[in-house]
Amino acid sequence: MDYREFLHRKMHDTSMNGFEPVWMPDFLFPFQKSLVEWALLKGRAAVFADCGLGKTPIQLTWAENIARKTGGRVLVVTPLAVSRQTEREAEKFGIDVRRSRDGSLNGSNIVVTNYERLHYFDASDFVAVVCDESSILKSFTGAIRKQITRFMNKLPYRLLCTATAAPNDYVELGTSSEALGELPHSEMLKKFFRQLDDKGQKRERSKQEEAETVIAHDNNYFQKLAYRVAQTIGQWRLKHHAVLSFWRWVASWARACRMPSDLGFDDNGFVLPELSERDHIIKPQTPKDGFLFNVPAFGMQEEREERKRTLTQRCDYASSLVNHNRPAVVWCQMNAEGDLLEKTIQDSRQIAGRTPDEEKEELYDAFASGELRVLVTKSKIAGWGLNWQHCSHVVTFATHSYEQYYQSVRRCYRFGQKNPVTVDAIATEGEVRVLANMRSKAEKAAAMFDYLVKEMNNATKVDIENNHVNQTEVPKWLS
């Protein structure tokens, strides 16, 4: 064994457990064909592609190839209501897909259901599974997440599809890795990260504060600083010497892109129209008890109290923003907000947690078809996988969660949208810190992702054969 072979054996790349495509339809774009081919060759893979880049046709083509090659069944698991949308997409592409809610197989080799119904299915009936919008895995309880992971681990072919993972969300990468049979999250941390002591965590927090106060026009400095902050998760930090190894390992089982050009293809047809994000700061009619004027809330408790006491004023303002004849979606955070918005907005319906699943699907369809003008809901209920390109007006209340904000906007602002999209974010004077935090997170996420896609692409291009290493025989005790 020479030195090159020794290094290859020590690399963290995963093996190819799949096969060459047996069917490649004409309806796929070149970058989509490339992703399907790679995922089939891998056998177990993740595709992190942004909203509207065609994850549904990608996963349907992958599933059809598995079914044709093996003669076995493929289960496609989606968030609620996306299963019906997937069935319609399959019909449009000429792929036989049957939806099941009770575990019945319906005579099709490709079956689609939602995550909440997975317990009705037996893994032994399938050879492959697709997890659509797999980012939702981390939102489930530990028991449900383990159930999904155990189901996947019994199958030889697995595919995770979701919008681009948050660039500094190593929890999500670890969850995805474990579901695909790669390193468990705990092993990932041990191999590529080091644990920070209290002093180290304080140092990282100071970098975070520096990133938030950096001069906006110094974009290059901001990107470098944001990228450095992105390498930290809680008390763990990516080892400096392991950056390339880590992203090479991720790139061995995942592909990420926000545009076709991230994968080396032309962006023609995937350039989005203008996005207008407008912040609305409402002055409460009266300051809170004990104060002569309105002051920013400090801490989660004060923020919750601010939302409750300004409930009517904020909802009235949101209602006035959608007082037109165009489709609109209004995202709320509390049940009381949703109830009041449904009462005050003409031609609106609310989808709440208490809404029966069948009724939820009917309302989703009614809104997507234009039968329902305004939909009121929460991002944790409807923020995953749904296509609402017919709607170009989004209204939301300020939130600390960048992911919730991003997903709610991307239901409408996604590839296939033909009109400029307006996003109205509402906050009171007491919530200015919340709004500022949300905008700061959005800016940093964009900068960090640019760097991380570049790092992943560089990792895929690194070839040990191109390194100039000497031919050296490795001692037997190192073999």
CA distance 32 to 25: 11
What pLDDT tens digit does each residue of the chain (479 aa) get?
555 554 444 444 456 789 999 999 999 999 999 999 999 999 999 998 888 899 999 999 999 999 999 999 999 999 887 888 899 999 999 999 999 989 998 788 999 999 889 999 999 999 999 999 877 766 666 677 778 888 998 899 999 998 865 555 666 788 888 889 888 888 888 888 888 766 655 565 555 555 445 444 445 544 454 445 445 555 677 787 887 788 888 888 998 888 899 888 999 888 899 999 999 999 887 766 666 566 666 777 888 888 888 999 999 999 999 999 999 999 999 999 999 999 999 999 999 999 998 899 899 999 999 999 999 999 888 888 888 999 999 999 998 888 788 889 999 999 889 999 999 999 998 888 888 888 877 777 776 677 667 777 776 665 434 443 444 454 555 44
**pLDDT attached to residue 317:** 96
Helices within 134-258 (DSSP H only): 142-153, 170-179, 185-192, 198-213, 219-230, 243-253
Domain ranges of the chain: 3-196+235-268, 275-441
| Residue 43 Rama label (left phi>0; alpha psi -120 to 50; beta) | left
3-class state of residue 303 by DSSP = helix
Superfamily holding 3-196+235-268: P-loop containing nucleotide triphosphate hydrolases (3.40.50.300)
Q: Is the pTM of this model over 0.85?
A: no
Examine domains 3-196+235-268 and 275-441 and report if their fold is the same. yes
Region of 52 (left: φ > 0; alpha: ψ -120 to 50; beta: rest) is left
State the Cα–Cα distance between residues 388 and 150, nearest whole angstrom: 33
pLDDT at 476: 56
- Please give the pLDDT value at position 198: 64
At how many degrees (to 10) do helices 55-70 and 82-93 cross? 70
Structure tokens, 69 = 């090659």
- Among 363, 437, 428, which Cα is nearest to 405's? 437
Cβ atoms 94, 130 nearer than 8 A:
no
What distance in Å separates the CA atoms of residue 284 and residue 286, rounded to the nearest whole number?
5
Just give the CATH number of 275-441.
3.40.50.300
**What's the confidence (pLDDT) of residue 383?**
80
Task: In whole angstroms, give the CA distance from residue 424 to residue 321.
Answer: 8
